[in-house]
Structure 1
Amino acid sequence: MTDRWLTFDCYGTLVDWRTGMAAALAGLGPAAPTVLDGYHRAELEIEAHGWRPYREVLREGLRLAAGRAGVDPGDVDAFVRAWPAMPVFADAGEALCAVRADGWKVGIITNCDEDLFAATAEYLPVEPDLVVTAERVRSYRPALAHFATFASETGATRDNWLHVGTSWIHDVLPAARMGIRSIWTDRDHTGHPPGLATVRLDSLEMLPAAVALAAARG
C-alpha cells in the first residue's frame, strides 16, 4: 500500500511563533508589535538573498526591523534564545494524533536550522516521519527545494501528498507551484486569495475532516 503523506509547516502552523517571538520583544515596550510585524518583511528580504544559518536570519532580521521602527533592538539574540520556549498551539496535538491514527505519515517542512527544530520537536505530540529543514536543503521557502527534496526522498506525488500550512507565501503558493494539494490554516486572516488552496481553515480543529475533503479532490 502506498504511503499517504501530510507535510506540515511547523512555526505558525503547529507552534505559536507569534506569541513566542512577541514575548521575546517584551523589553521593547510599545514598539514591540511594530518590530515584530517589520521582522516578517525583513526575514523575507534576507532569505531572498540565499541560504545562511537561520540564527543569522533571526539576528539580522531583528536588527533591521528595529532600525526601521526607530528603536534600539537591545539583545539581537532575543529570538534565538526564545526559540525553545515557543508554545505548541492547543489544537495541534489532537489534530496530529487524529491524522496519524487515520494512517497518514507526518512530515515537517521548516525554514529553520536543525538544532532549532530539535529544541521544538521535544514538545510536539507526535514524532515526525521525516523532517526537511532549510539547513538541509540550503534554501528558504517559498523556493521549492524543501518540497522537491521531500518528494525525492519519499516518492510522494500529488496523488498521496497534502501540505498543511499557515503562510500563504511559504506554504500555499509553493505547494500550488508544485501541483500539491494544500490545506491553508489561515490563523492570521491575511486576506490573501484562498483559491490556490484546496481547503481553507481558521485553525487545526477541523483538520481530519479537511484532510478527507482535500484527499477526495484528486
Structure 2
Amino acid sequence: MDLTEFQALSFDCYGTLIDWETGIAAVLSPWAREQGLSLSDEELLLAYGTQEASVEAEKPFRLYPDVLATAFRRVGAELGREVTDEWAQRLGASVPDWPAFPDSADALARLAAHYRLIILSNVHRDGFAGSNRWLRGDFAAIITAEDVGAYKPAENHFRALDDTLGSLGVEREGLLHVAQSLFHDHVPARREGLPSAWINRRHDRPGWGATPQPSGEFGYDLEFGSMGEFADAVEKAFQ
C-alpha cells in the first residue's frame, strides 16, 4: 500500500490516541477494592467492555457519560456488588482525565504535515474537547456519537464521514481509517469498503481488554504497534 496516495486519515480516538483502558481502570479498580473484590484490571476491563457495547447498542441516543455510568452499574450487578450514584458519576465524568498515549500528540503533528485529520469517535463533544487538550490535534473534522445519535460499529458515523469527505474535497478512495478496535472500527471499515490500518496497542498483552471481541467479518491493510510506528512509516513513504 502506497501511503502517499491518501489525502486524509480518519481516527478512532479512545484506544488509539487516548489510553481509555488506563482511564477506566483508574475508577473501576478502587471501586473493586472498596467492594472487597480481588480482580485484576484486565478482569475488570473485560467485564466492563461487554456491558458498554450492550448499552451503546440498546440506547444509541444516550450521551457517553450516561453510557459509562449505566455500564458501570451493570458491571456491579454482574459481580453482585453495588455501584453507587457517586461511583457511576465518577466514571461518567472521567473522560477528559483519561491520558493520551505518550506517542499520540507527536504522531498527530507529524501526520498533519501530509494529511487532513478527522476524528470518528464514540464519545460526546465535551469529552473529546477535554481529550484534545492532551492530543493538541489539528483536526479538519470531528464526528462524535453525540453528532450522529449512535455508536460504532453502527453505520451512522460512516454516513457522516461520507458527507464530511465531500465537504473537504477528499475522494473516498483518498481516505485511510486508523484505529485500534477491531470490534468498533475494523468490522465497519470492512463493511464500508474502507482501507484501514490497525494500531495494535495491545500487541504485548493477551485478551481483548475493554474492547469486545469482533462480532463480524473484519480486515485491515496495515498493522502497527503504536501511532509512533505508523507516523514513522508515513514519513519514510513520503521521503
Q: TM-score with structure 2 length normalisation?
A: 0.80
What's the offset of the Cα at 1:80? 1.9
Do the aligned partners of 2:23 and 2:98 also contact (CA within 8 Å) in 1?
A: yes
Q: Secondary structure at the match of 1:146?
A: helix
For residue 7 of structure 2, what is the amino acid of its counterpart? R
CA distance in 1, matches of 2:237, 2:184: 19
Matched with 1:8 is 11
Out of 40, 55, 78, which is 2:49 matched to?
Answer: 40
Matched with 2:23 is 20
Question: Given the superposition, is the C-alpha separation of residues 182 and 3 from structure 1 closer, same or farther in structure 2, using an over 3 Å criterion?
Answer: closer
Matched with 1:113 is 124
Matched with 2:91 is 79
* Greater relative CO (CA pairs within 8 A, separation 6+): 2
CA distance in 1, matches of 2:221, 2:198: 8
The runs of 5 or more residues in structure 1 that have no matched partner are none
CA distance in 1, matches of 2:8, 2:116: 5
Do the aligned partners of 2:19 and 2:99 also contact (CA within 8 Å) in 1?
A: yes
Out of 140, 145, 148, which is 1:137 matched to?
Answer: 148
Matched with 1:202 is 225
For residue 56 of structure 2, what is the amino acid of its counterpart? E
Deviates more, 1:42-51 or 1:152-161: 152-161
The runs of 5 or more residues in structure 2 that have no matched partner are none
Q: TM-score with structure 1 length normalisation?
A: 0.88
Question: Given the superposition, is the C-alpha separation of residues 195 and 211 from structure 1 closer, same or farther in structure 2, using an over 3 Å criterion?
Answer: farther
Matched with 1:53 is 63
In percent, how many aligned pairs have the same letter?
32
Deviations 1:47-99 (A, max 9, x none): 11233221111111000012112222241112123221111101112211111
Do the aligned partners of 2:182 and 2:218 also contact (CA within 8 Å) in 1?
A: no
Do the aligned partners of 1:3 and 1:105 also contact (CA within 8 Å) in 2?
A: no
Count the aligned residue pairs.
Answer: 213
For residue 201 of structure 1, what is the amino acid of its counterpart? F
Do the aligned partners of 1:54 and 1:112 also contact (CA within 8 Å) in 2?
A: yes
Q: Secondary structure at the match of 1:196?
A: coil
Q: Secondary structure at the match of 1:78?
A: helix
